[in-house]
């Protein structure tokens, strides 16, 4: 795959996506969003990929936001189309059916914070900063930030961050549940790959099912979500992976899942 603004590498079942505009703090311009949409679409269909890591190039930024020059040229019609394209990307990541780990190596602001929130698990460097500063520009988040942030942290904390536009440290992001763990910056990618390796040992069918149950269940009343969970369980129980997992437990050995 030849891209101008991202790097992609597949090794041992792990797809590594690196947003590669370090001179622009990895800002999400239109071309970068198009490339991310393309690579995640390919990853979704690639059975060789079981886990994904997304990070930013360089030492300063995961993604420092959207391209402000592009935003300044929008009108109402082009703005809506641009926001829908960014939402399409984040929705695809959230519903990829494969675990997506955000390795937040620096600033994750605006569209970068929205991208990180769409990932299933967020690891942050101890030097990272996160925030939704759009209000300081007289606008609001448009790639899902108002909705995902209020679902990840408390409503009050989400409104505080959205209305103040303040950046927060990785430590504060961990405290409020915006990131899931913090690591020394030089150890961040090792931690991300260690987690990916752990997830690789799980059944990809059960992994996909869990992501589906959580994502779809949150959109339903609790009673309907429980029915969804039971239905997914009943489908999984007849798979080869389920038979292998149960048999391996009884035989006191590690299972060998094949994704079947």
Task: Name residues whose C-beta falls within 8 Å of residue 200's C-beta, 6 or more positions apart in sequence.
Answer: 12, 13, 14, 50, 51
Total count of residues recorded for the chain: 260
**Exposure string over 110-137, b if 16+ CB within 10 A, otherwise e:** bbbbbbbbbbbbbbbbebbbbbbbbeee
186 included as an active-site residue? no
Whole-angstrom Cα distance, residue 202 to residue 123?
Answer: 20
8 A C-beta contact, residue 91 and residue 118 = yes
Catalytic member of 9, 31, 114, 160: 114
What does each C-alpha distance from 131 to 44, 213, 247 come to in angstroms? Answer: 28, 28, 47
Q: Which among 2, 23, 213, 183 has a CA at the least distance from the CA of 103?
A: 183
134 included as an active-site residue? yes
**In the sheet where 61-63 sits, what is the strand order?**
61-63, 107-109, 129-131, 167-169
Whole-angstrom Cα distance, residue 230 to residue 21?
Answer: 44
Both tokens of 239, joined, read: 């798979």
Catalytic member of 9, 94, 134, 186: 134
**Which residues are catalytically annotated?**
114, 134
């Amino acid at each position: 795959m030849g891209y101008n603004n991202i790097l992609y590498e597949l090794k041992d079942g792990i797809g590594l996506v690196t947003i590669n505009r370090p001179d622009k703090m990895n800002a999400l311009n239109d071309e970068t969003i198009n490339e991310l949409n393309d690579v995640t679409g390919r990853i979704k269909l690639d059975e060789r990929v079981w886990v994904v890591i997304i990070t930013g190039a360089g030492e300063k930024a995961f993604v420092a936001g959207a391209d402000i020059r592009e935003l300044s040229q929008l009108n109402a019609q082009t703005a809506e189309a641009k926001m829908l394209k960014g939402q399409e990307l984040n929705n695809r990541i959230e519903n990829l059916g494969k675990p997506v780990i955000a390795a937040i190596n620096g600033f994750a602001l605006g569209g970068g914070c929205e991208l990180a929130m769409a990932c299933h698990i967020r690891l942050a460097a101890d030097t990272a900063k996160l925030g939704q500063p759009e209000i300081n520009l007289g606008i609001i988040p448009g790639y899902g930030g108002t909705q995902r942030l209020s679902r990840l942290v408390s409503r009050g904390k989400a409104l505080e961050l959205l209305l103040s536009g303040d950046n927060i440290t990785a430590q504060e992001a961990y405290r409020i549940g915006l990131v899931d763990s913090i690591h020394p910056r030089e150890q961040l990618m090792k931690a991300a790959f260690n987690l990916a390796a752990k997830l690789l040992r799980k059944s990809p069918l059960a992994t996909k099912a869990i992501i589906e149950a959580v994502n779809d269940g949150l959109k339903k009343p609790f009673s309907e979500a429980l029915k969804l969970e039971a239905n997914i369980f009943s489908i999984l129980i007849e798979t080869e992976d389920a038979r292998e997992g149960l048999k391996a437990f009884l035989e006191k050995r590690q299972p060998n899942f094949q994704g079947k």
